[in-house]
Chains A and B, each alone.
Chain A
Amino acid sequence: MFKMSEYAFIASVLALSLALLCYIVAFVSARMGMARMQLAGAGGPSISTPGAGWASALATYGTLIVWLSFIFVSASLVFRTIALGHGPFANMYEFSVAFSWGTLGAYLYFERKYHLRTLGLIALPIALAMQGYALYLAATLPTTSDPLVPALQNNLLLSVHVAVAIVAYGTFSVAFGAALLYLIQPAEGRRGLPKPEILDEISYRAVIVGYPFLTLTIVLGAVWAEQAWGTYWGWDPKETASLVTWLIYGAYLHARVVRGWTGRRAAWLLMLGFGATLFTYFGNYFFGGLHSYAGLDQ
């Protein structure tokens, strides 16, 4: 089963790389086509060129390959779960694979809902970076997992606590992607990129999907900590980082809902939020604490 999991993961990495290539080529082709149209004095969305049709087809294939990559990485996680007897979230290799799964899943959900493949230009590299990191860990460390350390021996809480965190991280990746695409455009938008207001809306909706999951992650972590160590909260670096992340996204939601913060200010808050998310994810490397067993010791 471990081998099956590894093969499925490699297949996912290859598919994701190919999908990203399709997206980049399609995007660049479309941009060049538009530039040619503008140079020729043509304009308007109804005008198409043979190149634009080709780029669109390539982008469609790209999406299909992203789905394939998602299916492969899901299979990888399922095989590993069967092999381990618990959710595959006990070390950084497994967590990184799961992070890429969360990002791909969130991207595909929003891509399906909004038909915005441009989001993939940011979300897919994040997922691919996580997969690359997992590959690096797999190359330098054994990928078969040792028995869980005693503190992690709670299959239900381990699986649920980390699974909900993965969903939150995945949706925050999409929110980050949309916010970044927002910030790189002038206020009136840029041809070839989604409209700023749509990106603003997507990032907001991504956060409202992810925020309850992050809340649940923290609450479940606190419940687990109480059961394992007799205290709900110990100001462990990772839990403090989670709280900081929660506060930042909470500030974003309040600022947006109550105060109507949209646009660039909101997008910058999302940059900060995703920075905090990555800080939470990698923080145990630098600061140790109760989550340090989830590091490179596997």
Chain B
Amino acid sequence: MTSHPVTGPAPATARPAQLRFGRPSGGAAAPTTRPARLGRALWRLFTSVNFAVLQIIYLALLGVIGMTIRQLPSFAFHSLGDYQGEMTKLQAIYDPVLGEGVVDAMERLQFFQVFTSAWFSGGLIVLVVSIIICTLDRTPRLWRMAAEVRVAQPQPYFDPELPDRALIPGAPAAAVVAGILRRHRFRVRTAADGETGATFIYGDRNQWTKLATLFTHLGLILFLVAAAVTSRLGEQQGLVVAEGDSLTVGPIGTPGLLLVRNYGFEAPGFETGKPTDFTTDLAVYRDGQLLARKVIRVNDPLEIGGYTFHQNGFGPAPELVILDRTGATLWTGPVPLTESHEGFPFGLLSVPGRDVGLQLLLDRGADGAAVLLVLPYRVTGTAADGTPQISTLDPMAISRGDWQTASGIDFAVGFKSMSDYSVLIASRDPGQGIVWGAFLSLITGILVIFYLPRRRVWARLSADGELALVGRSDRYVDFEREFGRLLDDLVKARPQRLAAAPGSGSAPGSGSDADAGLDAHAGAATASTGGA
């Protein structure tokens, strides 16, 4: 027990401890210079709860826009063609509803890329600034509220007419009261009033937990820092690797370059339309040395060499062989059909050593077997919008195991077999540690704030054995019941003679505040100690 002697009576006009730390007002001289006035106005704005609520509503509205209006996928920004293709799709959706020209206006306002728009980024930046300023503004007050403890309170503070008060005549000794408080997990301090002979007993539980709000705010800031680190320093690339094929993770020539090899892809149950799994037997090499090999699946990636390889998608990859007229091989291997044309897998292949490309479309024949439609083409120029101009040659339909050629080309195309390609996401995220720190900070902060709130009890044991109590808590807890239990224990601990006397002790709040009808006991719990 820590004892603090009180040198004199508490002034009658003293304010309760928890009211001492109000926002300082008018203490500092008003700024005279214009920048100082502007700075103060901005500080006030960023610490205003109304402004914070406004920001949240603003971001929520943008979120609703982003959800309800179809957004441009990230690949739309890979090339002009992709962008135009996606915009055409948006026009097809919205023009009939909104009228022509509206889609272009909406695109200029970035409504189709809300989450990367200036509107959203600006909102996030303001939110970060706001959180930082609010945290800076509140921290000193929070610290003072937690650290500065007032054990002795003036007598009016214990007025039993006020809420959250109790008065117990014939109370047990101060040491017993302190022991009961400790049993209720309060940290106890005492002080003696030399003039009146009263003893102040102060119990504090979870004294510092209000500071957890700083962890919550720190968590939010860390999330945004992590997002910035990831977008600046992180890397994410999609790798389309057909079965039996290899691919480098990054440009050739990069020091420490990784190479991935797909040893096989499986999608059991795919033929039924309900695949039960997607797996890739994946090996990762560096400088010709095997680093790791693992069968990866959607929820089980491979982490190696600073990268994490995720199973992301798959598709068909017909194995082609292309021979020239002499029988020399121009190309052999699987061709991933990564695009889709009218619902059919579609892809392109440039024939090595020739000025001809092949458009490949996978279909099924009448017997259900795979048929590869091959349309050779030549690039003849470039259109005004930058897209290549092509002239197509005679198409071919090749069944599995067949060979075909066409007029205008000097090679034959063979459809050897079917295999699959696997789409892997290789990600390297230096912000990952920050993200985990942010999660931890946010969750810890919220849990502590809501589930470990501070409770305080002030007790004044007068020389004639009357115990006056005040119980307070942060507003997140059903403290009335806890206070009631504490009072029960204190009443039980009184000397036997007094405890038996009827009506002694005035633990508050047993009165029912019942409304008629369904709620026969309504209010019994909350009315017990009122609400400060």
Using a CB–CB distance below 8 Å, which chain A residues touch chain B? 23, 26-27, 29-31, 33-34, 45, 52, 55-56, 59-60, 113-118, 120-121, 146-147, 149-151, 153-154, 157, 191-195, 197-198, 201, 204-205, 208-209, 211-212, 215-216, 219, 222-224, 227-233, 235, 237, 240-241, 243-244, 247-248, 250-251, 254-255, 257-259, 276, 283, 286-287
Contacts and interface: CB of A to CB of B under 8 A. Distances in A.
Interface residues of B, number: 58
Contact of B49 (A27, A237, A258): A258
B437 interface: no
Interface stretch (B54-62, B189-197, B329-337): B54-62
Contact of A254 (B49, B63, B276): B49
Contacts of A216: 443
A211 B446 contact: yes
Nearest to B424: A230
Interface stretch (B82-90, B244-252, B493-501, B510-518): B510-518
A255 B54 CA distance: 11
A136 B109 CA distance: 41
A212 B439 contact: no
B517 A150 contact: no
B516 to A, nearest CB: 5
Contacts of B513: 195
A255 B276 contact: no
B442 A215 contact: yes
Contacts of A149: 274-275
A44 to B, nearest CB: 10
Interface in B216-236: 227, 236
A113 B478 contact: yes
Interface stretch (B163-171, B294-302, B356-364): B294-302
Interface string B259-276: 000000000010000111
A277 B517 CA distance: 31
Contacts of B419: none
> Which of the listed residues A222, A228, A241, A254 has the most CB atoms from chain B within 10 Å of its own CB?
A228
A60 B439 CA distance: 44
Given A198-B522, A255-B53, 7 more contacts: A115-B519, A222-B435, A230-B236, A230-B425, A231-B427, A241-B63, A287-B68
A292 to B, nearest CB: 13
A244 B58 CA distance: 10
Contacts of B275: 149-150
14 contacts: A27-B518, A33-B516, A52-B517, A55-B518, A59-B520, A115-B521, A117-B519, A150-B278, A198-B526, A230-B427, A231-B427, A254-B53, A255-B49, A283-B67
B6 interface: no
Nearest to B59: A247
A229 B312 contact: yes
Interface of B: 49-50, 52-53, 56-57, 59-60, 63-64, 66-68, 71, 115, 227, 236, 269, 274-278, 297-299, 301, 308, 310, 312, 425, 427, 435, 439, 442-443, 446-447, 450-451, 475-476, 478, 513-526, 531
Given A154-B299, A243-B63, A116 B516 contact: no
Contacts of B236: 230-231
B273 to A, nearest CB: 10
B515 A193 contact: yes
Contact of B299 (A34, A153, A248): A153
Contacts, number: 177
B439 A208 contact: no
Given A56-B520, A230-B425, A255-B49, A205 B443 contact: no
Contact of B517 (A55, A241, A286): A55
Nearest to B274: A146
* Majority secondary structure of chain A interface residues (helix, strand, loop or mixed): helix
> Which of the listed residues A29, A60, A149, A223 has the most CB atoms from chain B within 10 Å of its own CB?
A149
A118 B516 contact: no
A154 B517 CA distance: 48
Contacts of A121: 518
Contacts of B276: 147, 150
User: Across chains A and B, which 7 residue pairs bring their CB atoms closest together, nearest first?
Assistant: A30-B517, A115-B521, A117-B518, A230-B310, A259-B49, A230-B425, A244-B63
Contacts of B301: 227, 230
Contacts of A254: 49, 52-53
A192 B49 contact: no
Contacts of A201: 526, 531
A212 B449 CA distance: 10
Contact of A116 (B56, B443, B447, B522): B522
A141 to B, nearest CB: 14
Contact of B52 (A120, A197, A198, A251): A251
A30 B516 contact: yes
B443 A115 contact: no
Nearest to B300: A227
Contacts of A33: 516
A241 B478 contact: no
Contact of B60 (A23, A153, A191, A248): A248
Contacts of B53: 251, 254-255
B516 A114 contact: no
B132 to A, nearest CB: 15
> Which of the listed residues B451, B478, B525 has the most CB atoms from chain A within 10 Å of its own CB?
B525
Nearest to B517: A30
A191 B443 contact: no
Contact of A114 (B60, B227, B310, B526): B526
A232 B517 CA distance: 50
A192 B526 contact: no
Contact of B515 (A23, A29, A191): A191
Nearest to B58: A247
B312 A26 contact: no
Contact of A244 (B64, B274, B427, B520): B64
Contact of B525 (A31, A113, A147, A276): A113
Contacts of B297: 150, 153
B7 to A, nearest CB: 37
